[in-house]
Amino acid sequence: MKTRQDQPAWPYAAAGALAAVAGIAAGHLTAALVNPDASPVIAVGSAVIDATPTPVKEWAVSTFGNADKPILLGSVGLVTLAAAAGIGLLARRRRGLALVLLVALTGLAGGAALLRPTASSLDVLPGLAAATVGLATLTGLLALVPGQGAGPLTPLEGTASEAVTPGAPPRRSFLLGAAGVTAGAAVAGALGQKLAANPSVPTAADLPAPQMRLGPLPSGLESRVRGLSPFRTPNRSFYRVDTSLIIPRVDASSWRLEVDGDVDSSFSLTYAELLDLPMIERDITLTCVSNEVGGGYVSSARWLGVRVRDLLERAGIRPGVDQILSTSTTGFTISTPVQALTDDRDALVAVAMNGEPLPARHGFPARLVTPGLYGFVGCTKWLAQLTATTYAKDTAYWTERGWATDAPVLTQSRIDTPKGLSTVRAGASVPIGGVAWAQGRGIQAVEVRVDDGEWLPATLGPEAGVDYWRQWYLMWTPQAGRERHTLTVRATDTDGQVQTEELATPFPRGATGWHSVVVFVEAK
């Protein structure tokens, strides 16, 4: 007589995996109604990010770039499916234990959601939904496994001597059940994704006119030097580096900016009240501290916003305050030296970039923009709170992980064209071009070296202030006879400081070194 363990293993593994899929979909739909960050995979993924050591984070950012978040979410999903498939296989012999483990697996998501900085008691609901639907799905599919006995089982019984019940469900019943679960999960997941989508944002017509309006940006060199970074980075191309696995959903109608802490008078602003305050425009280049030498985590835009110092003056900062702790709607924190937000560099609570309301992925409805500092100490997105405090009292997210507390942007330059390992023609006029930046100081000169030759001055592009990058280029005619060349660039800021050759990794205060690319020359 055939026993249950004599049956094929794949239906059990499939039942476990489909139970996880159904549970995740149910949790995702529930989270859309409660808190999108409490969605099972998102909650676990966020916990993984928080627990990951800094060197691993840096490796992921440098290796995967903007794909790091999808890869992490995919990895969490795959591990969950593999674990659930294993639980399904266990159900062949120990069904009760398998059900307990499935509850434990979904419980991890609920626990991770409750550990988030902004968690509420309702954030446990997606995990409960995932557990309930997962258990029901696994139980239902196991009952449809071909040849599966329909008799009752004790919670932790073995099945070594259990006989298959005659007339048990045929294979077609299991396949139909699996298809139904898959379709239901797809519908639930899609509905959850739609409900969790960001509310509509205002249009450019809704933005206030700036009290201090800048003139048009000069025309950049990109029309003359092919492959050069645009003088102004389009919003869709602006780099994004943050810890949010999903873009926070913020409703402008209920959002508020709190200004509090060690101040004379705390206050809060609605989005409409913020827009009514005097606005100014500033052209500012932002840089991520994770940017490797020659990396792409640097972009430039025209920002519209309220001076942070005006808000802090209204609150009345008390003596002894040395940092402003800014908090996002997700509970993420950044610490910024108070001097950087109160001096004449015009740090902003920005509401628009490049003439449009902040895109959701760049911090809608408001974000902090601090010229001259790397983003991790001065550019909080989805801003919700500015707290006057001290470094001794409060520690921000990245400071807890060993990064610098004060991180001014270092002088850097990058070769955009020709690309590394590309081929150029001997005797042709080849532009070597790129961008250089030294926010707060500005760029005075850029030099290029071919192999170990002399440094040659490059032609600088237009200027838009010390907080904005400069384009540059140098025309070069490679000669026949040498197939490989190394091109190197260095910049000099307006203080006369030449970009250092010393190599340093981004941790803890920014990468240094000269950017070089290798190109090959082919005969005419």
Q: Is residue 57 part of a domain?
A: yes
Q: pLDDT of 106-119, one tens digit each?
A: 888 888 888 887 78
The share of the chain scoring above pLDDT 70, in percent, equals: 94
Total domains present in the chain = 3
Q: Are strands 383-389 and 256-261 parallel, antiparallel or unpaired?
A: parallel
Is the four-CA dihedral 234, 239, 245, 251 of positive or negative sign? negative
Confidence of residue 152 (pLDDT cuts 50, 70, 90): very low
What's the CA gap between 20 and 27, in Å, rounded? 10
Domain check: are 421 and 455 in the same one? Answer: yes
Domain check: are 149 and 215 in the same one? Answer: no
Domain check: are 131 and 220 in the same one? Answer: no
Q: pLDDT of 334-369, one tens digit each?
A: 999 999 999 999 999 999 999 999 999 999 999 999
Confidence (pLDDT) at 467? 98
Phi/psi region, residue 369 (left: phi>0; alpha: psi -120 to 50; beta: rest), is beta
What's the CA gap between 133 and 499, in Å, rounded? 59
Confidence (pLDDT) at 108? 85
Domain check: are 233 and 168 in the same one? Answer: no
Q: Are strands 515-522 and 423-425 parallel, antiparallel or unpaired?
A: parallel
**What six digits make up the tokens of 478?**
């490679």
Residue 305: φ, ψ to 5°:
-175, -175
DSSP H helical segments within 167-298, as ranges? 171-196, 271-276
Q: pLDDT of 468-515, one tens digit each?
A: 999 999 999 998 877 899 999 999 999 999 999 999 999 999 999 999
Q: pLDDT of 384-406, one tens digit each?
A: 999 999 999 999 999 999 999 99
Confidence of residue 72 (pLDDT cuts 50, 70, 90): confident
Q: Is residue 406 part of a domain?
A: no
Confidence (pLDDT) at 422? 95
User: Which residues contact residue 505 at a Cβ distance below 8 angstroms, ignoring those fewer than 6 apart?
Assistant: 58, 292, 511
Domain's final residue, options 379, 401, 423: 401
For residue 373, the 8-state DSSP code is B
**Which residue range is the domain that position 432 belongs to?**
412-522
CATH of residue 259: 3.90.420.10
Among 162, 141, 163, 158, which residue's Cα sits nearest to residue 22? 141
Strands (DSSP E) found in 17-138? none
Omega within 30 of 0 (cis) for the link into 365: yes
Domain's final residue, options 401, 422, 446: 401
Q: pLDDT of 185-211, one tens digit each?
A: 999 989 988 887 777 778 888 999 999
Domain check: are 53 and 177 in the same one? Answer: yes
Domain's final residue, options 401, 436, 469: 401
Query: In sequence order, what DSSP letters do the residues of 135-172 get, joined into one string?
Result: HHHHHHHHTTSTT---S---TT---TTPBPPTTPPPHH
Type of residue numbered 346? D
Report whether pLDDT(162) > 60: no
Do 68 and 52 contact (CB within 8 A), yes or no? no
Do 440 and 457 contact (CB within 8 A), yes or no? no
Domain check: are 339 and 443 in the same one? Answer: no
Q: Is residue 315 part of a domain?
A: yes
Beginning with the edge strand found earlier in the chain, give each strand of the sheet holding 515-522 in spatial order: 423-425, 515-522, 484-493, 443-450, 456-457
Domain check: are 147 and 269 in the same one? Answer: no
CATH of residue 435: 2.60.40.650
Domain check: are 396 and 441 in the same one? Answer: no
Confidence of residue 213 (pLDDT cuts 50, 70, 90): very high
Q: Is residue 407 part of a domain?
A: no
Domain check: are 222 and 181 in the same one? Answer: no
What's the CA gap between 517 and 505, in Å, rounded? 18
Domain check: are 83 and 12 in the same one? Answer: yes
CA 147 to centroid of chain Cα atoms: 48
What's the pTM?
Answer: 0.85
Domain check: are 229 and 249 in the same one? Answer: yes
Q: Is residue 281 part of a domain?
A: yes
Q: Is residue 491 part of a domain?
A: yes
Omega within 30 of 0 (cis) for the link into 508: yes
Domain check: are 11 and 157 in the same one? Answer: yes
Among 400, 435, 445, which residue's Cα sits nearest to residue 414? 435
